[in-house]
Amino acid sequence: MNEKITYTREEIEARVKVPAIVEAELKYLVEERLKQCGLYYRIFSRIKTAESLSRKYQIKEYSREKKIQDLVGLRIDVYFEDDVKICQNILEDLFSLVEWSESEMSEIEFKPVKINGVFRLPHYLRKQISEETWGMCIDDTVEIQLKTVFFEGWHEIEHDMKYKGGELWSGKNSFARYFNSILATLELCDKSLVTLFENLGHDLYKEGNWAGMMKAHYRLKMEERPMYPELEELLNEDKGENNLGKRLFKTERQVLIRELLNQPRRIPINVNTIAALLNQAVIHDERLDHLFHEKDVFDDGNESLGEEIAFHTMKPLQKSSVFRARVNLSTYRYDRHTACLEAARLAYQWVYEKYGRLLGTLPLKPVSLERNVLGYRLVFCYEPEKDYWEMEVTNVDLDAPGQLWVAEARCYLAQDGRQMLEVRNSYAVAEERRNYLNRYFSCPRFYSNIADRIGVFDVRYCSTSRRILKPEQVPKIADLIRSPRRTFPVCIFFSEEGENGWLDESWLENFRVYDFTRMAGRYTHIYTASLTVGQALTEALGLSWDGAPGVHIYRAGCADAEGAIDQKRRTCYAEADVTGCSFGRHQHYSDMRRYNIVKGGQAFYYKLLYEMRGEMLGDSDWETL
């Protein structure tokens, strides 16, 4: 019989570290979507305390198969019963669903209806939590509860006084019946509230009170903006069988909510924007098209979306790297001296094109200079006779108040004769916001230009073109993987070889190795190879080989002084990891973040890209300017 797993509060406090930013970011992501579609809601969040976790271990049995799933929890209370289903759909689009559970309805018993969803934590938030957490039968999930406001008011009482306090009700059938009748009344209130507003909306529609009808029928949190007189006139004058007012009233509320959620940014919600959205989606009336185009309806009053700016005591900024690279410049096209000058030209050209108008009149060619304009700073030190140059460029982030961007580069001649290039891109924020590390990845354009036009070496040449390994190359790639000087990860795709000699990569689904190489080849060694070559390579590295298609990743520093591979620095993905992959990706728009889930080969593409980019983040060990 398996021994019951339990931990003391002290053990939990020492091993389970969940930064507050995880809770705040999850709450933010959900709230942004709820605000975008205008639902009435309240949202609460919490991170389980060590005391609560310790009690949970004592009460229940956990294992590898059954884990604690509510380390982080959210609760959403909605004001209308039909919004529960809408919230379920929003959450499924936002996160990767593990499961839903719902309390059963009964004909003879009334009780609070609970809907609990368990979702995978987004990758970038999972990385914020201490790694020891996942070895304590805790799942990398967040639990989100959905309830209506009416039932939420009584749920805690029902849970503590009835569910947990069963002895209180023993032999007290009349009191239990009375309690259930209250719950029945609350359920009736939930249903009656929706019916009330539907009936009110119909009455207002018959009276020709169009603004009131839309507020009652759609039941969304709207701005108090008057209806355009031109819109009201159109609705009053259109008396046909299928008139505009009737079509607005007959359009289901879910249609409007779907259209609001489909917008690339959060737009003002008022009677005018609602009519414009529904006209785009289902009505398609040319008169309304013309009216809303003239009014620029979606930007009319957009300033109301702004949040009040809180002023705080000024604090020093802390830098976090979002890209770093230390490489030596290629000598395929240029000698070392010429490569250094060409790299300086490309870096300076980037500065000139990006900041030239802001920093005053800049020379057309690289020279040593310093420029300071409020919010922007450029330092360029150019000593071509020493095969040396360095630069630092600082600018404010106009989209993120309180944040700076710093791009740094240095090119110098190393003692062993290599022409080295070091690049670091960073953002700087106040200390409390540094938990957003790994949120960004930003490879500066000048580095990409240098890598593409000159070429860079990280022990071996880096390329954005597809490269197929041949048997005779196995020793060289084994040396690359073992090299202590390597700073980039090595990523190799092993596939079966068809009769025509081509590699069969269908197991990757819609993952395109060419696209991945084009995106990551400037900071990752990427190769493809047959299974035969894969077996030879793994044997050369002293590793076991399963003979199946897969992706093998060797991170920098994966070998010890004797050349033995550290398994913790090596990752192998099989076909099942590709087909079963689910990945949440951020999409950034002008005034909000969107979080979408993709699956299969497409998800694996983003997952792998995320991992390779993660290798390029963090603090650098070379001196800054």
Q: What is the pLDDT of residue 432?
A: 59
Three-state secondary structure string covering 45-62: EEECCHHHHHHHHHHCCC
User: Could you give phi then psi for residue 522, rounded to 5 degrees?
Assistant: -85, -15
So what's the pLDDT on residue 127?
A: 85
State how far the alpha carbon of 407 is from the alpha carbons of 41, 44, 193, 619, in Å. Answer: 42, 39, 57, 14
Give strand pairing partners of 141: 120
Give the pLDDT of residue 192.
Answer: 80
The per-residue pLDDT for 155 is 57
Q: Which one, of 450, 459, 336, 335, lies nearest residue 391 by Cα?
A: 450
Distance CA 248, CA 275 (A): 7
Instruction: Output the six-digit token pair for 105.
Output: 């309805």
**Positive or negative, the Cα torsion across 151, 153, 155, 157?**
negative
Is this model's pTM higher than 0.85 or not? Answer: no
- Give the pLDDT score at 171: 64
- Distance, in Å, from the CA atom of 77 to the CA atom of 152, rounded to the nearest integer, reads 7
Rounded CA separation 189/183 (Å): 10
* pLDDT, position 341: 96
pLDDT value for 313: 57
Q: Dig out the tokens for 23 from the structure.
A: 């809770």
Q: How many CB atoms lie within 10 A of CB 317?
A: 17
Collect all residues with Cβ–Cβ distance below 8 Å to 54 and sequence separation of at least 6.
Answer: 6, 7, 8, 9, 12
pLDDT in tens, 524-568: 999 999 999 999 999 999 999 999 999 999 999 999 989 999 988
Closest by CA position to 2, among listed 52, 65, 56, 53: 65
pLDDT at 124: 80
Low-confidence ranges of the chain (pLDDT < 70): 1-3, 103-113, 151-184, 186, 300-315, 400, 431-440, 586-594, 618-625
Cα 606 to chain centroid distance, Å, stands at 11
Give the model confidence (pLDDT) of 315-329 as tens digits.
677 788 889 999 999
Enter the tokens of residue 55: 């009690």
Helix (H, G, I), strand (E, B) or coil at 552: strand
